[in-house]
Structure 1
Amino acid sequence: MAFTGLKTAVTSAPVLAMPDFAKLFTVECDASMFGFGVILVQEGHPVAFFSRPVAPPHRSLATYERELIGLVQAASTCTAPWALVDGMVAFDGRLYIPPASPLLQEILAAIHNDGHEGIHRTLHRLWQDFHFPNMRHLVQDFVKACVTCQQYKSDHLRSAGLLQPLPVPSAVWVDIGIDFIEALPRVQGKTIILSVMDHFSKYCHFIPLAHPYTAESVAHAFFANIIRLHGVPQSIVSDRDLDSPTIRSYEPGETRVATVAQEMEERAAFLNDIRYRLEQAQQRAAASLPRSAIGKLKPRYIGPYQVAELINEVAVQLQLPPGARLHDVFHIGVLKKFVSTPPAVPLLLPPLLHGAVVPAPA
């Protein structure tokens, strides 16, 4: 029976009990040549324990002297200011929250969401009223995973680098670039020039087009003037965006009066938007805007969106929502890692006007 009890005691770890400050505590200590240990016991059940190695100068002392040293060190460590206040355990006058308590995340959210301050200020505010193990580590993880902080705060990191230059072509008319030059005076019914340049030889073709043009008409012109002469290129670089606005001059007889009026109204609205943005830029330069309109409290990031493909060292392709009228390749300098559970489907993009986010009403 004695051997069975010894085997059980050696192979099983005791479970610490919660202290009852209304009852007496017993301190049991023991020491050897290389270490000492102290156990805080209440009604025969361990409540806390403390162990340390014996310093080399103390190994020559008597056993009771080593036990006394261990007792003094344990007393300075284990006699932390625990107390029972209104039926709740307090540590150094602060409410103790067990790590497994469901209230821990609610307390973290309540403290942090009241201003969305950084890690140090959130930790300082928590430390004033609460105590729980691994406080700094839990606060760091919670603040890093805060969606609001990730959208409104920028990372103070080094620049991710410039965009990678295009590779040098190995032959003529293998890699080309195209661009549209619009709003030109009418010449034989043409008001647009499609410029096609070979990146290797810098040779250019200028193809006149009439407005309105479509993808089919551009393809016909491209086949007739480029592919017929030089073959099919391997890559085409263009700065065209589906949401790129264009300004066309009014030409009598091109369209009916109602269509012209609509075009002029759209043109006036576009110019008003440009004028408004220029006025905002001037005001920001003069630092005359109120604090709430400078942009500090406006979101700096939208998303999150999943990375679909790594284009090169500094460019990635994102999985944008279906129907997004926005190019899906971005420089990593305008992105930041999302820390939390990602959404099941891509979030909708905010409303855009001429390629810029429409500000939400305050």
Structure 2
Amino acid sequence: MLAGLRVLGGVVAPLAEDLDRPICIVFTSGTTGTPKGAVFCGRQLQFICQVDTQHKWNSPQDLGLHSSAGTSLTHLGPMTKLLGNLHSGGTSHLMKKWTALGGLEAVEQFRMPVIAGIPTQLALMLHHDSFDQFDLSCVQAVIVGGGPATPALITEARERLGVPVAVRYSCTEAGIGVGTSFQDPPEDALESVGRPHLGVELTIRSETGELLAPGKIGEITLKSPAVMSGYYKDPAASSAAFWPDGAVRTGDLGHLDTAGRLHLVGRSKEMYIRGGNNVYPMEVESVLSQHGGVAQLVIVPRPDPTMGEVGVAVLVPSDPLNPPTLEELRGFAAEQIAPFKLPSELVLRDSLPLTPMEKIDRNAIREEL
């Protein structure tokens, strides 16, 4: 294929500097639809390099020595972080296929000072049978993003590793977004996904684009020099991804508190309506995941002739021989969330299906039900 392109003794002419030249196509995770290719140019990657990999999240100063890419280079984290890691003289370790055992082995072998990944990966490592056999004394911090991390998972990581945990939130199209700092109060990562990074404008908007006040739930939007140029060869979808002022429409729902912290509620496509009331699965999952009998859990809707839709809790128990009952789960959450938000059914599973990005595949679960 490449034979016709070779020129014997030829020399490739150096490229002129052009920060608007496309450099990479980063694909969305596809958890709510067909993956789309977000185009990033030198200008966006330069901004991300400056603010996200040059210790401006107040990270320990030697976190860039060795790091592990939990997903392929076609996805946001590894691709947009690669430039900064190379600039800082760091080494990025890639795996043909990520596994919890392989991740733990890499941390120990290369003395990685940070464990970074999506919540599912962190949970799989913490729950691996051989976790306690590894020397993880090199770990100084944990950074988790790419999906919602439950308070139970953050607490477990802090207790078992003895290090601070920071959370991140963004979407592929935005490039960079918000997060907690290691200097923030510990409760920030438990209650929220933090505040916008310097240079990032975070807003909550109504369906018509109206800016909403703190406490009001709406669509999360992010605007910064890091946002994508558009989707590859898809001008219609590119136009729909932005508000007229250039802010990216994340498709996620959330609200701000009076301290400026962002609280996630869930994907707009995941919300369901039970008896005329909006239910956001992430809110319910955040509470139920703190039950001691829950290893993994997801809430999905199913049609109901009376209520329109009801919630089904699909659960992997911590102890398969003694799983929690539906009544136990409802009673555990009753004091924290409204009755109409509680699941109406419980389905037990040995494991939950995952997407290629190691995220829980909600679409597959809904189809199974």
Instruction: Give your verdict on TM over 0.5.
Output: no
Q: TM-score category by the smaller chain?
A: under 0.3
Structure index of larger Rg: 1
